[in-house]
Amino acid sequence: MMFFSACVGVASTIVLFVSPAFAADKTIDPQLVAKLITAATMRDRLDLLSDDQLLYNFSANPMYSWKPGSVCNANAATWPILSTIGVSVAQLNLGPCAMLAPHLHRANNLVVSVTGTTHTYMVQENGARLVEQMLSPGMMTIFPLASVHSMYNMGKLHVVAAGPLVADIAKGCENNQLYSFLDDKDPGTTTLAQTFFLMPEEIGMQVMPFINLTNGDWNATAQLIPAIGNGSQDGFEACRRKCGLA
């Protein structure tokens, strides 16, 4: 899915100055995308593409990482063929306790767990209840269009090294992998905390009057929101402690 996608313009330049870094997909081949979009038929498009260009390797996505985690998007920006088809897929790689901050998309979103157990949270709209799921391998959940959702790797313990004694066991937590399917080639991602702080201070402080601003400065306070480098960020301390990470 995620984070600001292909259209990087004036607006997102401002974003980079006043709020923490987002993972942003770069459009890898705008000329090819232009040709694919203007081609009349799918057969014409296939004539513009080699067999290799019809294969997507998530491990080669520039975001691919496990510390703390990543969201690797196959979308109109990263895989040119998708510029003409209304779908995209993200590979979610969550290291132990890694989380995706509350966010939403311009698309319906189905998420399937492949490994590990992932706790998900979803609120569709004002007045809707909080839906929580424990997504284990082979299970799928839905985040309908514009629902706010979040998730984290629950940090299932496993033996990472065992010595001769029963007590001589080192435990760690496993990596979780999921796939996220979206019914748009450019679903975008809007992360709530970061976008909230792009509103003027006067507005924001009326909504959350209890915020203790850093040096009384709204923009400086926004800078304290942890960066979402590759789409995922560190999880909370209790989980990280359990996994031997904090």
Q: How far is the CB of 209 from ligand NAG (least distance, A)?
A: 11
Nearer CB in complex with ligand NAG: 20/107: 20
Nearer CB in complex with ligand NAG: 70/83: 70
227 contacts 20 by C-beta, under 8 angstroms = yes
Q: How far is the CB of 220 from ligand NAG (least distance, A)?
A: 8
Nearer CB in complex with ligand NAG: 29/201: 201
Q: How far is the CB of 17 from ligand NAG (least distance, A)?
A: 6
Nearer CB in complex with ligand NAG: 65/84: 65
76 contacts 5 by C-beta, under 8 angstroms = yes
Residue nearest to ligand NAG (CB): 229
Q: How far is the CB of 162 from ligand NAG (least distance, A)?
A: 30
Residues at the contact surface with ligand NAG, assessed by CB under 6 A: 14, 18, 57, 59-60, 62-65, 212, 217, 219, 229-230
* Cis bond before residue 137 (omega within 30° of 0): no
Q: How far is the CB of 228 from ligand NAG (least distance, A)?
A: 8
- Among residues 36, 51, 72, the alpha carbon closest in space to that of 231 is found at 72
158/220 Cα distance (integer angstroms) = 40
Nearer CB in complex with ligand NAG: 18/139: 18
